[in-house]
Amino acid sequence: MLKYAKKAARKQWSHWVKRRIPAQQRVKLDQRSIFILPSKEGIIFIVSVLALFIGGINYVNSLILTMAFFLTSLMLVAILHTYRNLQGLIFTSEKSEPSFVGDFVRYTVIINTERKDAHEGILLQLQGAAEVRCCVDPHQSNKVNLFIPARRRGVQKPGRLLVQTKYPLGIMRAWSWIDLELAALVYPAILEGEQPKSDNGVDDREQSQSISGVDDFSGLNNYQEGDPLSRVYWKVLARGLPLATKSFEQPVSESCWISINRVPGTLEQQLSILAYWVLKLSESRTEFGLDLGIIQVQPSRGAQHKKQCLQALALHGLPADDIALFGGVQ
């Protein structure tokens, strides 16, 4: 019964925070979004002041009472300064780069301020990430990187960012939970395996044709006006021969398909093996296509094609909302 009560209370608290601090791509902290209470040290401080006050009354000692009143006023001033250390901070974020399962996802938060003085001792933390301390300079954009382990394929949503401070005395804690709608794409883990056989009847044997490229030296040609100087073969001049240029070729291979239907194992193992071959074929500049059943990425090559294939693998089988968040497979 207690477990359900805690769950219900947590749910009600979450709804209240969402209404009070809604998700936005730009958040400015003000009195509506900043909470402040005594820290653990502050509770000890308050208890000590109460003990002094009671002792001063009991022994009718004006010196002890003066000290108690002084410490109370100090705490009130600390409340104001701790609150002002968060007030006026403006948070935005940069788009997060995709990562692979087993690596870390980097989230970059940009902090600015409307005030003319610096904000000291600002602590930032995402769920599952280490706490980061920073100082906000009023004369520049302050970037803070937060790293979260990429444990699962798909869309990673770290949730709300905890912003807090105990500056200047440490007896008060001001904090806020802001939602910058952070999200990142996590590609499948890389798992080596046999290349999936073509599912579309396309053989991946290399042809004997070649195209002009930069891979393999193929011979010398007579120098023509406009040829790049980097390819001029200067050594022929010492032999009294006409100036020549070096030519290079790279092999042309037919496009191949890698298909999820030809990969054994569980779904995650299948996607991991396909991710391995997407990287390997892209590295060798082989033209290939990706067949995921309903989704097919037509054969191509290059960095954009690799990114498109990895995105298709990351989003495969996910809810429509997550797919729409990253524009689906184009």
Residue type at position 40: K
Mean pLDDT along residues 30-55 = 93
In a domain, 14, yes or no: no
In a domain, 311, yes or no: yes
Residue 224 corresponds to which tokens in the numbers above?
């023509």
Say what the pTM is: 0.75
Strand partners, 163: 124, 176
Tell me which residue range forms the domain holding 299.
189-205+254-330
> Could you read off the pLDDT of 86-100 as tens digits, one per residue?
999 999 999 899 999
DSSP 255-272: -EEEEGGG--S-HHHHHH
- pLDDT mean across residues, the chain: 84
Instruction: Count CB neighbours of 154 within 10 A.
Output: 19
Both 175 and 304 in one domain: the answer is no
Contact between residue 318 and residue 300 where contact means Cβ atoms under 8 Å apart: no
Per-residue pLDDT, 275: 92
Both 197 and 293 in one domain: the answer is yes
Nearest C-alpha neighbor of 172 from the set 58, 36, 299, 22: 36
Strand partners, 35: 175
In a domain, 12, yes or no: no
CA 267 to the chain's CA centroid: 25
Both 103 and 113 in one domain: the answer is yes
Both 261 and 248 in one domain: the answer is no
In a domain, 6, yes or no: no
> Could you read off the pLDDT of 195-230 as tens digits, one per residue?
875 545 444 434 434 444 445 555 666 666 555 656
Mean pLDDT along residues 58-68 = 91
> Could you read off the pLDDT of 97-127 as tens digits, one per residue?
999 999 999 999 999 998 888 999 999 999 8
In a domain, 268, yes or no: yes
Per-residue pLDDT, 146: 93
Q: How do beta strands 256-259 and 288-291 pair? A: parallel
In a domain, 2, yes or no: no
Both 329 and 239 in one domain: the answer is no
19-52 CB burial, b ≥16 within 10 A, e <16:
eebeeeeebbbeeebbebebbeebeebeeebeeb
Least confident of 77-86, 220-229, 254-263: 220-229
Is 253 a residue whose pLDDT tops 80? no
Q: What is the rounded CA–CA span in Å between residue 28 and residue 161?
A: 13
pLDDT band at residue 16 using 50, 70 and 90 as cut-offs: confident
Which is higher by pLDDT, 61 or 225? 61
Per-residue pLDDT, 197: 59
Residues 6+ apart with CB under 8 A from 129: 146, 147, 148, 158
Is 1 a residue whose pLDDT tops 80? no
Is 284 a residue whose pLDDT tops 50? yes
Residues 6+ apart with CB under 8 A from 89: 28, 29, 111, 112, 113, 119, 122, 136, 163
pLDDT band at residue 233 using 50, 70 and 90 as cut-offs: low
Per-residue pLDDT, 319: 83
> Could you read off the pLDDT of 132-170 as tens digits, one per residue?
999 998 888 889 999 999 999 999 999 899 999 999 899
Mean pLDDT along residues 265-269 = 91
In a domain, 10, yes or no: no
Q: What percent of the chain has pLDDT over 90?
A: 48
Both 24 and 58 in one domain: the answer is yes
Both 233 and 282 in one domain: the answer is no
In a domain, 13, yes or no: no
Q: How many domains does the chain have?
A: 3
Both 321 and 193 in one domain: the answer is yes
Question: Residue 136, exposed/middle/buried by CB under 10 A (0-12, 13-18, 19+)?
Answer: buried
159: domain CATH number?
Answer: 2.60.40.10
Per-residue pLDDT, 248: 59
Q: What is the rounded CA–CA span in Å between residue 90 and residue 119?
A: 12
Both 228 and 328 in one domain: the answer is no
Both 325 and 271 in one domain: the answer is yes
Strand partners, 105: 148
Q: What is the rounded CA–CA span in Å between residue 51 and residue 28?
A: 40
Q: What is the rounded CA–CA span in Å between residue 188 and residue 178?
A: 29
Per-residue pLDDT, 7: 81
Both 193 and 181 in one domain: the answer is no
Mean pLDDT along residues 45-50 = 95
Both 157 and 231 in one domain: the answer is no
